[in-house]
Amino acid sequence: MAIDVIVGFNPSTTEPLDSRLVAINANDRLSRKDFNCYEGLLIFQQDTNELYACIDPTTPSLEDSWLLVSSGNVSSFFTITNIIKTGSLTIVENNTINKALTVEGGTTLTHDDLTNNALTVEGGTIINNDTSDTSLTINQGGTGNLLIITSESNTPVLINDQGLIILDEFTYTPTPLAGGILYSGSNFYLGIDFP
């Protein structure tokens, strides 16, 4: 039943008006009952500073019934942990995506300060393009690197602002693979498959 508020509502409390909106920890969040949940209910989990959305109110006691909307990483940019989006997606300023990002349409990433990373993806990224258009275009307007590929603490491939592909100098010899290129000790090595 709705309650009509005739004048401005000004509660004098530091407690949430709806006790469902805050959970102390995961156990508290998962203790919600189905009659007290709805699809889209947002709950802030205090111990991890994470924000969750209920996606299945019929079984709120299951972790799969909750979608992690924002992780508790404290940083100067917003962290996105899941994106399910059809159509175009525009991301402005610094963002980190902690899970897979699948792009099946036009995606524009812009950043005013081009010396910083516009987008960081910590997980798998798939770019599907069923049209004849270019699958991935990188437009660099500043002096930073166009593309940096990292693996743990190594940077095996880098494309600088002049378009030069720079390979990391390996300090060890990896397993040779046909078509592989290795740079080590001022020498280039090419993996060839001998019949």
**pLDDT band of 28, cuts 50, 70, 90:** very high
Report d(CA 67, CA 58) in Å as an integer: 14
The dihedral built from the CA positions of residue 56, 61, 62 and 68, taken in this order, carries a sign that is positive
Question: Where are the domains positioned within the chain?
Answer: 1-72, 83-137, 143-195
pLDDT tens, position by position, 107-136: 555 555 444 555 555 555 555 555 555 556
pLDDT at 193: 81
Averaged pLDDT for residues 38-57: 90
**Structure pTM?**
0.41
pLDDT at 10: 74
**pLDDT band of 153, cuts 50, 70, 90:** confident
pLDDT tens, position by position, 81-108: 555 555 555 555 555 555 555 555 555 5
Give the residue, 154 or 95, on which the prediction is more confident: 154
pLDDT at 27: 95
41: left (phi over 0), alpha (psi -120 to 50) or beta: beta
The dihedral built from the CA positions of residue 182, 184, 188 and 193, taken in this order, carries a sign that is negative
**pLDDT band of 77, cuts 50, 70, 90:** very low
- Over 90: is that where the pLDDT of 23 sits? yes
Flag the least confident range among 10-19, 63-72, 151-160. Answer: 10-19
Asked if residues 66 and 52 have their Cβ atoms less than 8 Å apart, the reply is: yes
Averaged pLDDT for residues 50-56: 90
